Structure 1
Amino acid sequence: MIKIFNTYSRSLEVFEPHIPGHVTMYVCGPTVYDVAHLGHARTYVAFDAVIRFLEFMGYRVKYARNVTDVGHLRETGEDRMIVGAERLRKHPMEVADKYMMEFFRDMDALGIRRPDIQPRASMHIPEIIEAVEKLVDKGYGYVIDGSVYFDISKFPDYGKLSNIKPEELLMHRIDPDPRKKHPADFALWKESPPSYPFSWKTPWGRGFPGWHIECSIMSMKYLGEQIDIHGGGQELIFPHHENEIAQSEALTGKKPFVKYWMHTGELTVGGRGMHKSYGNFITIQDALKTYPSDVLRLFILSAHYRTPLDYSEKSMEQAAENFDKITNFYENLSLIAEEDRAKPRDPSLDELGDVFKQSFIEAMSEDFNTPNALAIVYDFMKKVNTRLDDIGHEQAAHLRQLFLETCRALGLLQKIERRSSAAEVMEFVKTLVEVRRELRKRGMYDLADRIRNMLAERGIVVEDTKEGERIRIVR
């Protein structure tokens, strides 16, 4: 039984999708006016682990993640896409294409599962205009010259997601039109000035969509009027997701628009949020020049998705060390599995594997608790490592497959099979060990020791035992 912390109810709830065995999931994607940084990676890796675990548990997940290329305004009222265009001296749509493709490459490099659908806001203008017209006709929207605003007084549940009361909303935010009925009324459609690069013809004049209506329309078009999971960073709870609920439920008359709201905690640097405006951000591309994608993923999953996560070199070094342990464990099992080591199957090891899998599932089923799940992975490795000498090749192959499937439920070890196979490594090492054995028989201990030392420098330890040489990968 999977439980999810629902931001809307502020409590753990048993996960029951609208259609048993099927999950519809929408995660707010990037505004593609600049390169993506590790703050973005934190959100998308976290939700990637959610999706992978749901699929591990047998669910079929239909996943949509949008691309915002129009309408996302700064607090100052500037469209982020136009800010990016002015910086690069290009048309906003050129900027959108450039950074959208870079974002896709970043996600692939991080090993993040590609969404089933990746809709662009600018390609859904007719549907957005139609939805705004309906909201006006139903009395939820009102027109001021060429702009259309949502009247929050017509939606009694406004503020329940963010726990903010409408009477507390005294700021006009980024829609400072004094003619609005309430300061918190938000834009469904904005009138555009002459020669504005984003401008579409509507019944109210030329303009462009509000940011919030874009996600409502795209999610409903591809996933339905009521979806199971909607995710994003905690900074999107208000106003973005609050406004999505209001306009979506007003438009369709169906509640709830989203059954489970999930939000990721902030990635910080020295306790301060990672943001472009602060200048303390690290791009995904730069981070991948220093650390493999699995190390970045392990760092992100070391904290629960709802909690803040602080970036530091020390925490990255710890993640790198932990990932070395994971790969060493996998490769040591592979060495045993691919050598001719016939030993009786140990029922207690099979039981250890069963307990490991069940404990992992229980940890992840409690609101996708990745740090607890990783602790279970490390404990399993520790216990099996003490018994490697007792494992035959068949049982090693079984434990290796169990370990690989479990790690991949977190998105780890996706590229492990691209390395040289354990059989190839073992064949080469065996040849060197045989040469070393012959040198020792001839009393050429200096040369024999050189071979052992050279292997040790490469993370391959050769230990002399009564039964012969034992080989371990420690890296």
Structure 2
Amino acid sequence: MQLYQTNELKIYNSLSGRKETFRPINDGYVGMYVCGPTVYSNVHLGNVRTFMSFDMIYRYLKHLGYKVRYVRNITDAGHLENDADEGEDRIAKKARLEQLEPMEVVQRYTVDFHNILNKFNFLPPSIEPTATGHIIEQIEIIKDIIDNGFAYEINGSVYFDVLKFNESNNYGELSGRKIEDLIHNTRETAGQSDKKNPQDFALWKKAEPQHIMRWPSPWSDGFPGWHLECTAMSTKYLGEHFDIHGGGMDLKFPHHECEIAQNKAAKARSPVNYWMHANMLTLNGKKMAKSTGNNILPHEIFTGDNNILSKPFAPSVVRFFILQAHYRSILDFSNEALSASEKGFNRLMEAIHLIDELPVGTQTDFDIQDWVGSCYEAMNDDFNTPILIANLFEAAKHINLIKEGKEQISSENLELFKEKIHAFTFDVLGLVDTAIAEGNDHADKLSGVVELLINLRAEARANKDFATSDKIRDELAAMGVRLKDGKDGTTFTVG
């Protein structure tokens, strides 16, 4: 029996504003879409927090036995400055400033994004589509919206008619905004004269002569609207109706609100059952954002090259720090908070190291089944990682008591205990034992040093300097590193 059949998972649905029992559209299968990065700069820690929240959710769904199709996109065009319909494309602007092709910018920061997420031990998504790879699908959705009377073309651009849509639908259902308030609070700005109403948003923009990134369409050479891209990619891979759509809290309006409107206008149905939003990471009490400069880059944390922290911190310590807060709560980043998390992380890892050395008794002095149930209860309550971590610390306390002979654990319960503490720590939370990671790092360095000596020995042999060649071989052997010469070169073994 799969674990999801015995666990009732509740998810906070931003659409209803309450926790709801999770019921996937297809039993045993989950379709999940998360809005990915706009790749015009290095990914900062605030972005990482959002993606880490959904990595944890993905991991737990897989742990429960669901077959998950996780789609997380790359926005590589169409995202204009200030999330607006006017102004310069963020990627094109970076390309102009750095005198690069836009796709060089995309490649550079996509690689950075992947490298950083790998350091944090993220699982890769099932599919990672790009906006530029789905222009045709976006054009077809625009045609459907126009045909259904919810969009209009003017001067080569196509806009979504928000007021027309709101006559038969509720624009604002996700964010809780009322159309009357939106009208009242919207002021006319330069460049909006093509729109019927200031609230309307672009589905397709005609490219100005200087705009580098452009594609042909029935309306003009131009580029798609940012909101449309996610609509096209999510429905292409997950269908017109899927389970979970996630992203940062800042995307709820207008981005996700517009996605719902576009889907309803094109297909006459709401696309998603559960909308999920991760809250922000603050620095010095203010939102972490690229635009304001109030941010810290992950590599600055790992190296200690910053003016905020007293020392470098390992990726898994930062991951532990982030997951100690619930994904829907605001988390403030500080040197003191990260230092405290490091101490807690080390305490947990030390306890897990002891578990293989625990003496087996004839009875168990604490209820393992109850502890396991508490862990699942925490995660089933809208992925409550702070409570799960509290349970892991409770487990660490019992491990130390057993080690000291103050409690007992039977062999049967020890196996269950070991299985579940590893599953929740490493599989669900995605933490990495830094002692093992550092050991692997040391092994890599040793391998590099030996390869260097092998090359020096080969040079000595080529120069008929057999004394040096033999010295390298013999001294490595004395240290337990044995060289073996073969027709394909020299290999080594340790031990």
What stretches of structure 2 of length at least 5 have no aligned partner?
1-7, 304-311, 441-495
- Alpha-carbon distance in structure 2 between the residues aligned to 1:169 and 1:191: 26
> Does 1:406 find its partner at 2:424?
yes
Q: Which residue of 2 aligns with 1:326?
A: 348
Letter in 2 for 1:311: F
Q: Report the 3-state secondary structure (helix = DSSP H, G, I; strand = E; otherwise coil) of the residue aligned with 1:120.
A: coil
> Does 1:248 find its partner at 2:263?
yes
How far does residue 398 in structure 1 lie from its aligned partner after superposition?
A: 4.5
Q: Which residue of 1 aligns with 2:221?
A: 206
How far does residue 172 in structure 1 lie from its aligned partner after superposition?
A: 6.0
> Given the superposition, is the C-alpha separation of residues 195 and 280 from structure 1 closer, same or farther in structure 2, using an over 3 Å criterion?
closer
For 1:227-306, list aligned pairs within 5 A.
227-254=242-269, 256-289=270-303, 290-306=312-328
Q: Which residue of 2 aligns with 1:12?
A: 19
How far does residue 396 in structure 1 lie from its aligned partner after superposition?
A: 4.7
Q: Which residue of 1 aligns with 2:201?
A: 186
- Alpha-carbon distance in structure 1 between the residues aligned to 2:149 and 2:343: 59
What per-residue deviation string (whole Å, max 9, x for no partner) do you get for residues 57-79 of structure 1? Answer: 12111100000010111136221
8 Å CA contact 1:74–1:174 kept in 2: the answer is no
> Given the superposition, is the C-alpha separation of residues 250 and 15 from structure 1 closer, same or farther in structure 2, using an over 3 Å criterion?
same
> Given the superposition, is the C-alpha separation of residues 209 and 128 from structure 1 closer, same or farther in structure 2, using an over 3 Å criterion?
same
> Given the superposition, is the C-alpha separation of residues 364 and 355 from structure 1 closer, same or farther in structure 2, using an over 3 Å criterion?
same
Q: Which residue of 1 aligns with 2:233?
A: 218
8 Å CA contact 2:246–2:277 kept in 1: the answer is yes
For 1:380-391, list aligned pairs within 5 A.
380-390=395-405
Q: Report the 3-state secondary structure (helix = DSSP H, G, I; strand = E; otherwise coil) of the residue aligned with 2:365.
A: helix
> Does 1:3 find its partner at 2:10?
yes
Q: Which residue of 2 aligns with 1:56?
A: 63
Q: Which residue of 1 aligns with 2:160?
A: 150
Q: Which residue of 1 aligns with 2:101?
A: 91
What per-residue deviation string (whole Å, max 9, x for no partner) do you get for residues 265-293 of structure 1? Answer: 11101210011222121112222332212
How far does residue 375 in structure 1 lie from its aligned partner after superposition?
A: 0.9
- Alpha-carbon distance in structure 2 between the residues aligned to 1:297 and 1:175: 43
Equivalent position to 1:348, from 355, 365, 374:
365
Q: Report the 3-state secondary structure (helix = DSSP H, G, I; strand = E; otherwise coil) of the residue aligned with 1:105.
A: helix
- Alpha-carbon distance in structure 2 between the residues aligned to 1:261 and 1:234: 11
For 1:51-200, list aligned pairs within 5 A.
51-75=58-82, 77-155=87-165, 156-170=169-183, 171=186, 176-200=191-215
- Alpha-carbon distance in structure 1 between the residues aligned to 2:316 and 2:174: 34
- Alpha-carbon distance in structure 1 between the residues aligned to 2:187 and 2:432: 48
8 Å CA contact 1:111–1:414 kept in 2: the answer is no
- Alpha-carbon distance in structure 2 between the residues aligned to 1:415 and 1:232: 29
What stretches of structure 1 of length at least 5 have no aligned partner?
422-475
- Alpha-carbon distance in structure 2 between the residues aligned to 1:15 and 1:397: 30
How far does residue 55 in structure 1 lie from its aligned partner after superposition?
A: 1.4
- Alpha-carbon distance in structure 1 between the residues aligned to 2:416 and 2:189: 58
- Alpha-carbon distance in structure 2 between the residues aligned to 1:100 and 1:167: 40
TM-score normalised by the chain length of structure 1: 0.83
How far does residue 88 in structure 1 lie from its aligned partner after superposition?
A: 1.9
8 Å CA contact 2:302–2:313 kept in 1: the answer is yes
- Alpha-carbon distance in structure 2 between the residues aligned to 1:257 and 1:375: 36
What per-residue deviation string (whole Å, max 9, x for no partner) do you get for residues 168-219 of structure 1? Answer: 2242698942232221111000010114211111111111000000000000
How far does residue 86 in structure 1 lie from its aligned partner after superposition?
A: 2.3
- Alpha-carbon distance in structure 1 between the residues aligned to 2:38 and 2:151: 25
Equivalent position to 2:50, from 43, 46, 67:
43
> Given the superposition, is the C-alpha separation of residues 248 and 372 from structure 1 closer, same or farther in structure 2, using an over 3 Å criterion?
same
8 Å CA contact 2:354–2:399 kept in 1: the answer is no
What per-residue deviation string (whole Å, max 9, x for no partner) do you get for residues 104-159 of structure 1? Answer: 11111111110000000011111111111121111111001110001112322111
- Alpha-carbon distance in structure 1 between the residues aligned to 2:352 and 2:188: 52
How far does residue 357 in structure 1 lie from its aligned partner after superposition?
A: 1.4
- Alpha-carbon distance in structure 2 between the residues aligned to 1:100 and 1:419: 26
Letter in 2 for 1:128: Q
| Number of matched pairs | 413
8 Å CA contact 1:77–1:174 kept in 2: the answer is no
8 Å CA contact 1:3–1:366 kept in 2: the answer is yes
- Alpha-carbon distance in structure 2 between the residues aligned to 1:175 and 1:322: 53
Instruction: Compute the RMSD of aligned alpha carbons.
Output: 2.0
- Alpha-carbon distance in structure 1 between the residues aligned to 2:364 and 2:210: 75
TM-score normalised by the chain length of structure 2: 0.80
Letter in 1 for 2:206: E
- Alpha-carbon distance in structure 1 between the residues aligned to 2:331 and 2:436: 30
- Alpha-carbon distance in structure 1 between the residues aligned to 2:210 and 2:194: 24
Q: Which residue of 1 aligns with 2:29?
A: 22
Q: Report the 3-state secondary structure (helix = DSSP H, G, I; strand = E; otherwise coil) of the residue aligned with 2:291.
A: helix
